[in-house]
Amino acid sequence: MMILVSFSGFVTIFFFLLVSHTLASHTLQRDALLEFKNEFPTPDPQAADPIDFFHRSSSWNTSSSDHCSWEGVKCDGKSGEVISLVLKYISLNGSLKSNTSLFKLQHLRNLSLTSCHLTGKIPSSLGNLSHLIHLDLSLNHLIGEIPASIGNLNHLSYLKLESNDLTGKIPSSLGNLSNLIHLDLSYNHLVGEVAASIGNLNQLALLSLSFNNLSGNIPLSFANFNKLSYLDLSGNQFTPENPFTGGDVHRILPNLTSLSRLDLSYNNFKSNLSADLTGLQNLEELFLGGNSFVGNVPTSLFTIPSLETVELGGNQFEGPLEFGETSSCKYLYLASNNFNGPIPESISRLVSLSRLDLSYNSFIGTIPDSMSKLVSLSDLDLSYNKLEGQVPSFLWRVFWFTLSHNSFTSLEKSLDVIFSENLRYDLSSNSLQGLFPQWLCNFTSLHVLDLSNNRLSGSIPSCLKNSTSFLKEMYLRNNSFSGVLPDVFTDATGLQSLDVSHNHLVGKLPISLMNCNRLGFLNLKGNKIKDTFPSWLQSLDSLLVLLLGSNALYGPISSSSSYFGFPNLLVIDISHNCFNGTLPHDYFANWTKMSSATNETNSFELMGPSYYLFSMDMTYKGVETEFSRILTAYKAIDFSGNKFQGRIPKSIGMLKDLRLLNLSGNAFTGDIPSSLANITNIEALDLSRNKLSGQIPHDLGNLSFLSYLDFSHNLLQGQVPQSTQFQRQNCSSFENNLGLYGLEDICGEIHVPDATSQQPEEFSSEQEEVLNWIAAAIAYGPGVFCGLVIGHIFISHKHEWFMKKFGRKNPSGMISVR
């Protein structure tokens, strides 16, 4: 009986101790979590952040006894130990301490602190959490090297450290993680060669080391990855030891039989591509773009039955190009290589093809009829080749195509009417002849039409009114269209860009342009349009660029309705017309966009996404200077070559962010307004060939960005400012101002002519160059020139068709910043 009592007492004591230990353990774990919370700075209560840790972890408090129910915390169902801590997309705004309370959670299997604004280094003591299976510290701001101690976590299956600022080499100790399935170290600043020990991770299914600064050869041990389905080494500096054999790449690839995605793009490979890829029977996506691979593309590549995406752009592959039997390939990018000869008829075998890019090669001949079998094709780029002949009718069923910079001469009429709401056709820079193809008016859902830089003639048809409801961009620049610009824009409420410059258009501007309330870019330069100034365009709040230069426009540009101004205008060019009259002193008072010194990332954001980039060139005395910042916040005014009189409005000084001002070749009188000194960002100023008098304001010498100025052919007097900006100009910038002095450092010894001399002024060779350039401009863009000017602005659009690969890269080889 006494033995039974003792045994019962023992059981009671054991149970009591067990419960006490469990309760104590739970208390320790709860306290550890609270200590971890307190390791990070307490936010300002006045600026509560909905993703702040303290806001999101309100359940973490001492009054809550069950810490296993706290947000992000998970406990083992039997032992009650914390086994998972997942805090994603919250703001910790601090670093992990070397003795962080997390290390008291010894049974932790899953630690995920993704996108928590973590800073500092990864503590090496993290290697003491020996039960970890899943470790994710991605999308933070961690710095320093990857601790070698992570190699001690021999249960680890997932290691994700991507998108940080980690440096140094990949520690060879990671090769000890024999259970690792997922390893992602991409988007860091890791350097050096990849240790051969990484090849020991033969359980890997995913390996991504992309977008670091890794170099050297890919280790031969990578051939052990026979379970690997995803390999991304893109955006590094891998260079094979032997550029003629490709290093070990050719010995590695045949062993990677489980691969579904292989990305070696944007490295320094310079080898041939292996001739036999038939072993990669599970391959779905292949990205090798942005290297220097040479030789032929093996036909065996196009026999892989699972292959859907092939991106080989930006290499030095050459022909002949032949496609094997495969029906799965949907996306094929071969841009920017050395392919030549005709487009192969065998391309018709890729019956599932949706996107095809053969741009920037040297393909010749006509588009093969066999391409008509590609019934799924929706996106086609054949630009920058040497193709010729007729554009076949079957291409009009492709929703997006660009055939620019070839030698096509005609268009075969479409046999069908396409009703897609997103048609984009680019036929610019070819040799198209004849009249505007009126059957294009049947495409009522056109978004983009570019026929610029061709030889089309005749009138622009009025039937385009049927196609303007969805139209966003239309470019007819540099053709020989005549007649009037038809009044077809009543329903064009989505139109963003219109360029009909450098044609032979006459008549007046169509008043229906007033309905284009999203119009941001309007270019009518180099025509013979005869009309008064279209002040009604001021009602278009989205208008950023207005180019009316080199026409026959006339009359004053200021009236009672003009004081409203152009609030969002960035660039205006009305040069080489017949405008006259005076400008009120407050004429520029409401041009608010030019008045604010903003630093916009993209001035065309108001227009929505566009496939066209614009640059601006300004030509001074035969020297062409490019201003490519029109996409950032470039602001320019060109009123040159007209008949404006009176004083230059003082309100010009309110345009504080103006970069270019050209008022040359007019009849402005009076002083140069001192308010010009307020335009602190100005880079080019031309007031030449007017009747300006008085002194050059000395404050203009403080304009530190001023790189070009011209005050020649006026009635100026007094001393020229002695600043660096003035002293580095050419002497011609001040000539024919007999009252100016202080030019010795600029012009050297100056001979002052006899004031009574009636001898005609001799043209310098530089002036002769100016006149020759003006004559060339007249021949290029016919219009009525009402004044001799030295400079002019013209804006040309440059097409760049973006084929994005998962939002990260485009075929030109440029890598997007994450």
pLDDT tens-digit series, residues 548-569? 999 999 999 976 554 567 888 9
CB 410 within 8 A of CB 431: no
261 occurs within a structural domain: no
Whether the pTM exceeds 0.95: the reply is: no
Q: What is the reported pLDDT for 44?
A: 58
Decide if pLDDT at 191 tops 90: yes
Residue 447 is encoded by which pair of tokens?
């978004």
Decide if pLDDT at 136 tops 60: yes
Domain count, the chain: 1
Count of Cβ atoms closer than 10 Å to residue 359 Cβ: 26
Decide if pLDDT at 533 tops 80: yes
Residues 6+ apart with CB under 8 A from 231: 207, 208, 225, 256, 259, 261, 262, 263
For residues 474-485, average pLDDT? 97
Decide if pLDDT at 792 tops 90: no
Q: Report the CATH number at residue 696.
A: 3.80.10.10
DSSP 8-state secondary structure symbol assigned to residue 338:
B
Band (pLDDT 50/70/90 cuts) for residue 502 is: very high
Q: What is the reported pLDDT for 809?
A: 36
Q: What is the reported pLDDT for 9?
A: 53
Decide if pLDDT at 800 tops 90: no
DSSP 8-state secondary structure symbol assigned to residue 250:
H
Residue 514 and residue 3: Cα distance in Å, rounded? 105
CB 571 within 8 A of CB 543: no
Tell me the torsion sign for CA atoms 808, 810, 812, 816.
negative
The amino acid occupying position 183 is: L
Count of Cβ atoms closer than 10 Å to residue 622 Cβ: 13
Decide if pLDDT at 403 tops 70: yes
Tens digit of each residue's pLDDT (9 = 90 or more) over 20-44: 444 446 788 888 888 998 888 876 5
- The Cα angle at residue 152 between residues 146 and 157, in degrees rounded to 5: 85
Residue owning tokens 């290093």: 247
Residues 6+ apart with CB under 8 A from 639: 574, 575, 579, 662, 663, 666
For residues 67-72, average pLDDT? 88
Residue 279 and residue 557: Cα distance in Å, rounded? 73
Strand order in the sheet with 578-582: 554-555, 578-582, 643-646, 667-670, 691-694, 715-719, 739-741
Decide if pLDDT at 146 tops 90: yes
For residues 256-267, average pLDDT? 95
Within a 13 Å sphere around the CA of 701, how many CA atoms are in the beta-carbon half?
Answer: 13
Decide if pLDDT at 249 tops 50: yes
Q: What is the reported pLDDT for 736?
A: 95
194 occurs within a structural domain: no
Band (pLDDT 50/70/90 cuts) for residue 91 is: confident
CB 614 within 8 A of CB 581: no
661 beta partners: 637, 685
Three-state SS letters, 534-554: CHHHHHCCCCCEEECCCCCCE
Q: What is the reported pLDDT for 205?
A: 97
Band (pLDDT 50/70/90 cuts) for residue 620 is: very low
- Least reliable range by pLDDT among 54-68, 137-151, 453-467, 800-814: 800-814
Residue 327 and residue 352: Cα distance in Å, rounded? 6
- CA distances (Å), origin 422, targets 9, 144, 319, 470, 605: 83, 48, 34, 8, 19
Decide if pLDDT at 536 tops 50: yes
Q: What is the reported pLDDT for 325?
A: 76
Higher pLDDT pick, 360 / 782? 360
Decide if pLDDT at 226 tops 50: yes
Q: What is the reported pLDDT for 775?
A: 30
Residue 339 is encoded by which pair of tokens?
């392919």
261 beta partners: 230, 285
For residues 677-701, average pLDDT? 94
Band (pLDDT 50/70/90 cuts) for residue 725 is: confident
Provide the residue range defining the domain that includes 597: 521-753+770-799
| DSSP one-letter string for 402-457 | E--SSEEEEEPPPSS----S-EEEE--SS--EEE--GGGGG-TTEEEEE--SSEEE
- Least reliable range by pLDDT among 365-374, 533-542, 601-610: 601-610
676 occurs within a structural domain: yes
CB 410 within 8 A of CB 433: yes
547 occurs within a structural domain: yes
Q: What is the reported pLDDT for 490?
A: 93
583 occurs within a structural domain: yes
Decide if pLDDT at 222 tops 70: yes
602 occurs within a structural domain: yes
Chain Cα centroid distance, residue 490:
32
| DSSP one-letter string for 765-818 | HHHHHHHHHHHHHHHHS-----S--SEEEEEEEEE-----BTTTB-TTS-B---
For residues 209-225, average pLDDT? 94
Strands 340-342 and 362-365, bridge-based pairing: parallel
Residue owning tokens 């509560």: 48
Nearest CA to 694 out of 739, 642, 654 is that of: 739
764 occurs within a structural domain: no
What does pLDDT average to over the chain? 83
Most confident of 49-53, 491-495, 609-613: 491-495
Residue 696 is encoded by which pair of tokens?
């050059």
Percentage, residues of the chain above pLDDT 90: 61
Residue 507 and residue 128: Cα distance in Å, rounded? 82
- Least reliable range by pLDDT among 57-66, 583-592, 623-632: 623-632
Decide if pLDDT at 220 tops 60: yes
Higher pLDDT pick, 190 / 781? 190
For residues 324-331, average pLDDT? 84
For residues 98-119, average pLDDT? 93
496 occurs within a structural domain: no
Q: What is the reported pLDDT for 248?
A: 63
Kindly report the length of the chain: 818
CB 357 within 8 A of CB 803: yes
